[in-house]
Amino acid sequence: MKHNYLSDKALKVSFLIISLFVLVFIIVPLARLVLFINPKTVSVIEQSSVLEAIFNSLSLSFICGLISIGVGVPFAYLLSKNFFKRFNKFVETISDIPISIPHTVAGIALLFIYGKEGIIGSLSYKLFKFQITGTRIAITIAMLFVSLPYMVNAAKESFKSIDKELEKTAKMLGASEFNIFKDIYLPLSKSAIYSGFILVWARAISEFGAVVMLAYYPMTAPVKIYNAFNEMNLAR
């Protein structure tokens, strides 16, 4: 079969044009944001409330990442071992739903559970006079709900890729399930879990829709930006 160098060159050129378009599509809005800052924007950034909102986003998203390791990794391990048998695929699909639904809808769903009239929210208020909504706990819950699948998927795929012969050998030598998990699966999946943590943190820190439904106050950075945009008309 004769090699067509002309078609190869045309392919590379067309892909280069597409790549340049992608880069321009990403860079231009970001450059506009950084290089041409509105004086109103500067005055907003200097407010102490903005620093508090940034701190809330950074700290609570970090906590969310730690929680995702604690609950997401064990769950991912069970999924990778086909623990739920014929329902395993169904459980995997359920765990991915928070990624696919609009996050304002996710916030409303969480409100039905953790709101003052919700199942858990009402119980918390009746027993402890503690209202979950409008607290940092509510923000963390909203962040975790929309970002947890990233940890589960990262850890699950890593667990699945591990050579099963290692596990068989460990069992032949008398290793317990816990030791196999601790000494084989966790060390070999460390980089994937770190990547999952970064994905969870990045997704949580940018979350707006679910957070604003559960806790407008205390503000996170995305909520504060939205609030300032409306109050000070930063679009002009």
Q: How many whole angstroms separate alpha carbon 65 and alpha carbon 59?
A: 10
Residues 220 and 146 in one domain: yes
State residue 32's pLDDT score.
83
| AA letter at 136 | R
Q: Tell whether 113 and 226 lie within a shared domain.
A: yes
Does one domain contain both 55 and 10? no
Same domain, 214 and 178: yes
Number of domain units in the chain? 2
* pLDDT tens digit sequence for 95-145: 999 999 999 999 999 999 999 999 999 999 999 999 999 999 999 999 999
Residue 235 has pLDDT above 80, yes or no: no
Domain ranges, residue 30:
1-36
Q: Do residue 95 and residue 111 come from a single domain?
A: yes
pLDDT for residue 233 is more than 80? no
Cβ proximity of 165 and 172 under 8 Å: no
Same domain for 108 and 190, yes or no, is yes
Contact status, residue 221 vs residue 52, Cβ threshold 8 Å = no
- Kindly report the CATH number assigned to the domain that includes residue 144: 1.10.3720.10
| Contact between 98 and 148 (Cβ < 8 Å) | yes
| 183 and 200 co-located in one domain | yes
Q: Are residues 24 and 141 in the same domain?
A: no
- Shared-domain flag, residues 106 and 210: yes
Tell me, yes or no, whether 10 and 62 share the same domain: no
Do 46 and 31 share a structural domain?
no
pLDDT in tens, 23-78: 999 999 889 877 866 666 666 677 788 899 999 999 999 999 999 999 999 999 99
What's the one-letter identity of residue 157?
E
Q: Are residues 3 and 80 in the same domain?
A: no
